[in-house]
Structure 1
């Protein structure tokens, strides 16, 4: 058996062992393309989409190889490569090579922190960055902070990034995929060496993430740390609980009304009892997917939609739109993320979406519109009349421009 065939067998068994002990990470790794590059001196790295193993992998035990694959898989799950590039865009004064070494150092600490919460066997490989290393080196704790918060804190403290990490870790920067590489695990992602579109890559990662999460969730085998990690992807910026409880009391309706004719079972005579008044109205969410909405905003719109469904306590009908209105779909739980297929990328014209929404609007329907509100036909008579007609049923969420003054709205800041 050749060295490559031996490695393919070891990788297959390593991923199988991960699926047994940590199904979510193992399934995600199984869905990920893993390549072997014989002339690379590194152990392993990721470009944010695939996993690459270098020649040093042959010096490691099967247990250590499983740990390495899990390590790189978590880098992809946490989107460290994409998030690092987004941070760098905000700091054009930095030297990319040095910045990516710093980003990798911090990212490795996050991966180690999550791996320690799993049942995956510790590795004997020495060059691992721990959260305590980041604390010792930069005086910054990573616990309870996002990757972006930690990076920004380090950059504020250090006018110049000193690269003195004793070779720990490998860079998660802009890797060019080697020409001479061998596929040792066929995942679900396409083998497209030319695809460097970050938005497409992130959508692909999200789909893989949702599929692996749902498979593991069905078996009730997702660790608490990973559970929080997945939920972080759906974390909303609009406090819908506050909006519903205070600012929009009654906006989404109520399943009950209070009456002194029915005594409270818990505190009889002190507070009124609740009487059921049937199901609440429908919720309709119009999501702007036009070309002016970048991937970060689009992902946030998805998060807001799931938050609305959770707080409203019922199915939410979603209508994606740009210059056209696309087929509606229903969501309710985080597990429904796999249903999310947002078409768009064109111009921003809202009237087709409003016409489609008309089919579903009832007097009890609540309508949420997520957009940057840079809408070409916003001042047209048709659009103005529609929005004004349903103004008491509409709540607008904007990332940029202010919606019409007669609408209730909230602004998301980026």
Structure 2
């Protein structure tokens, strides 16, 4: 069959895709449009396909398989549209994010801005969506946000007039979403570590960003860093019985979290990024009331204790070159157990001897990610949208 031949061709062409296709099971299902993905309770990845695609050219079937793999790489199964209107936009946004990395589809694609301007697709059996020429190498989330803004400008635009997606985006699963993320992220991560160097730069950056998508909320992240605590003040409490004397209150220790937050305030950080950083620091403060906040450009510019709501009176100092190491050294001299560093990554990765989490702005330096992952592991990076 053509689909089996297409699988074999792809496995010969690229060790990266070959690794991802190992263990993928093909299953005919004529209820799907062309092809779709299903995750079974045994952790298998099924590619459901309509038998009619065996009558299509080999380049089309190969491209379709790559298209499905890209859905997995980009974790598009995490996207949950609120309604049919949003689903239509999400479908095109996901396809645009993917097709730009598949030459055969990219060459035959219609840019999203043209689709919105004309209000419909081509008359061919299949329509391939592409990014606007001024927005290449972006994510589905970014294309979705851009399309929503464009539709707001147009007011009464008939979204239903837009063409359908190339494939089904149902992403069926017999497993919880957390398990799917763990299975797919592990497989893509291993393939990328072994064979990622052969990929073109835009795709490498796309996969890197996808692998760093946080699956944890801030409460979980902060709990991870706050677990190591030190004993603070000791006080008596009637709520804790005295082990030696029944009629006496017991002693209880107040535990103080040992968490430092470092903010890069160098000249490369724009106001939008600083606002983004402060918003996230405020979230952290709600879970950990005793933060050591350190501002740094090429040297430490300010040190203070931060608590929830303090952003209103917080002065920002900096604007010079960037060197995170002085702030890290200062934090470690305070005997902290965890350090969270907010930066755009246009700086060398510092040497950290404590548990560390780098929180990068959306306008980050991708080279910083590669270096940080190599030194501290993939769990050391979170990228803000």
Distance 2:20 2:375 in 1: 16
Q: What is the SS of the residue equivalent to 1:253? A: helix
Q: Distance in 1 between matches of 2:90 and 2:56?
A: 25
Structure 1 residue corresponding to 2:208, chosen from 228, 231, 239 = 231
- The residue that corresponds to 2:174 in the other structure is 194
1:40 aligns to what? 31
1: CA distance, partners of 2:191 / 2:147:
33
CA distance in 2, matches of 1:76, 1:150: 18
Q: Cα 1:154–1:42, aligned 2, differ >3 Å: closer, same or farther? A: same
3-state DSSP of counterpart to 2:161:
coil
- Gaps (5+ residues) in structure 1? 1-5, 117-121, 177-192, 255-279, 288-300, 321-330, 343-369, 371-396, 398-411
What's 2:114 paired with?
A: 136
* TM-superposition CA deviations, 1:243-292 (whole Å, max 9, x none): 542573676339xxxxxxxxxxxxxxxxxxxxxxxxx99997638xxxxx
TM-score by length of 2: 0.51
Distance in 2, matches of 1:137 and 1:222, equals 29
Q: Secondary structure of 1:232's partner? A: helix
In the TM superposition, 1:86-101 aligns within 5 A as: 88=81, 92=82, 96-101=83-88
The aligned counterpart of 1:74 is 70
Q: 1:253 aligns with which of 316, 319, 326?
A: 326
Distance 2:345 2:111 in 1: 40
CA distance in 1, matches of 2:370, 2:159: 47
Correspondence for 1:102: 89
Render the CA deviation track for 1:338-364: whole Å, top value 9, x for unaligned: 95579xxxxxxxxxxxxxxxxxxxxxx
Instruction: Provide the rounded CA distance (Å) in 2 between the counterparts of 1:318 and 1:332.
Output: 18
2:338·2:356 contact (CA, 8 Å) conserved in 1? yes
Partner of 1:13: 8
Q: Give 5+ residue unaligned stretches, structure 2.
A: 40-44, 118-130, 215-261, 267-294, 302-322, 358-368
Deviations 1:192-214 (A, max 9, x none): x520x223322322212210111
* Secondary structure of the structure 2 residue equivalent to 1:333: helix
- Residues 152-206 of structure 1 deviation map (CA, whole Å, 9 limit, x = unaligned): 232233256522244452342x444xxxxxxxxxxxxxxxx520x2233223222
Total equivalences in the alignment = 250
Correspondence for 2:98: 111
Over 3 Å counting, the alpha-carbon distance change for 1:308 and 1:112 in structure 2 is: closer
| CA deviation after TM superposition for structure 1 residue 28, in Å | 2.5
Corresponding residue of 1:358: none
- With over 3 angstroms needed to count, the CA separation of the structure-2 counterparts of 1:147 and 1:318, relative to structure 1, is same
2:271 is matched with none
User: Match for residue 333 of structure 1?
Assistant: 371
Q: Secondary structure at the match of 1:114?
A: coil
Cα gap change, 1:169 to 1:64, in 2 (>3 Å): closer
Q: Is the 8 A contact 2:36 2:171 kept in 1?
A: no
- In structure 2, relative to structure 1, the CA distance for the partners of 1:76 and 1:332 (3 Å cut) is closer
* Structure 2 CA distance for partners of 1:156 and 1:341, relative to 1, 3 Å: closer
Contact 2:3 2:54 in 1 (8 A): no
- CA deviations 1:117-168 (Å, max 9, x no partner) are xxxxx26xx9x973x4311122583426442232123223325652224445
Contact 1:24 1:216 in 2 (8 A): yes
Give the deviation of 1:24 after TM superposition. Answer: 2.8
Offset at 1:100? Answer: 1.9
In structure 1, the residue corresponding to 2:166 is in which secondary structure? coil
Provide the TM-score with structure 1 as the length reference: 0.48
Report the counterpart of residue 163 of structure 1 in structure 2. 160
Structure 1 residue 229 displacement after superposition = 1.1
CA distance in 2, matches of 1:129, 1:104: 18
